[in-house]
Amino acid sequence: MSPKQLTINLLEELVHTAELNQEGKTANYIPELENVNQDLTAIAVQPLGESSLSYSNYPLHPITLQSTAKMIPLIGLLEEFGNEQLFEWVKVEPSGDDFASITRLEQFGPKPSNPMLNAGAITLCSHIPGKGEQQFRWLEHWVQKLFNQRLSINPSVFASEKRTGSRNRSLAYLLESRHNLGTDVSETLDLYFALCSYEAMLEQMLFLPALLANGGIVPDSGERILSTETCKITLAIMATCGLYDETGTHMVKTGMPAKSGVSGYTIAVVPGKAGIVVLSPRVNTKGNSIRGEIMLEGLSKAMNWHFALPY
């Protein structure tokens, strides 16, 4: 099926099929995330060279990025420092463990296994250049670059993250004890909690996966924003680590490099074809959107977008 055959009717069908699944629940260990509509189910697709399409079963509001935001320090630091330096800070091996696993870091550290785990993203946040306000300005710069607009931090979610983030504090102190943080624990965690608390509308999320699908070139303008090398590395990490210890299952079913977040967002990339965003706050114990995965698998099959299929 060609991109021209992608229709609103297909997206509506994918949403309605996913709605039949009643498994999972909101990530209520971050209290503010419990307040979203758990039945919200939505999808948006940006085929390269075509207009974007989206469908949602409920009116949409901004939703926090949560772990999809881990892409921001990864890409920004790759662009500014290069892969050799980045791989001095974190490894790039699939974990097979929980995204906030302390045991994983203790057993296989001192460097975190990959940038998509909490420990990996915390480490990268600690190496954002500058101090204090300079680091937050760095985040703002890269958010605007990767989403093509400014995004806001949800203050309630930020406060909720700080109040309930004991496990992330444990990871940060363990990293500090192994001399693997670039700045102190408090400043690092403020950056990390702020990173996860950026919020965006569904279609605002499309710019980043479409940019990666197009090799770092903005599809509309032709402007190169990211290097080819950064895109290759980022897509490889998404393909092997983007859905934590469910990444293998995801890749077998969809063939799409992706990154999930416990708010229900998942961004996915079909290199050379399209950028995709799915949204459903019903997540499983691994932190991945259940309905989101159903929609991605259905889209992959309908469009023949699995990477292993001939085009």
**Which residues carry out catalysis?**
67, 70, 192, 244, 262
Helical H runs in 23-82?
71-81
Nearest to 107 by CA among 125, 121, 119, 89: 119
Phi, psi of 102 (to 5 degrees): -80, -35
Are 264 and 41 contacting, i.e. CB atoms less than 8 angstroms apart?
Answer: no
* Backbone torsion region of residue 130, taken as left when φ is above 0, otherwise alpha when ψ lies between -120 and 50, otherwise beta: left
CB distance 194 to 152 below 8 Å = no
- Please list, residue by residue across 98-134, b when 16 or more beta carbons sit within 10 angstroms of its beta carbon and e when fewer do: bbbbbebbeeebebbbbbbbbbbbbbbbbbbeeeeee
Yes or no: say if 142 and 151 are a contact pair by the CB < 8 Å rule: no
Q: Fill in the DSSP letter of residue 283.
A: B
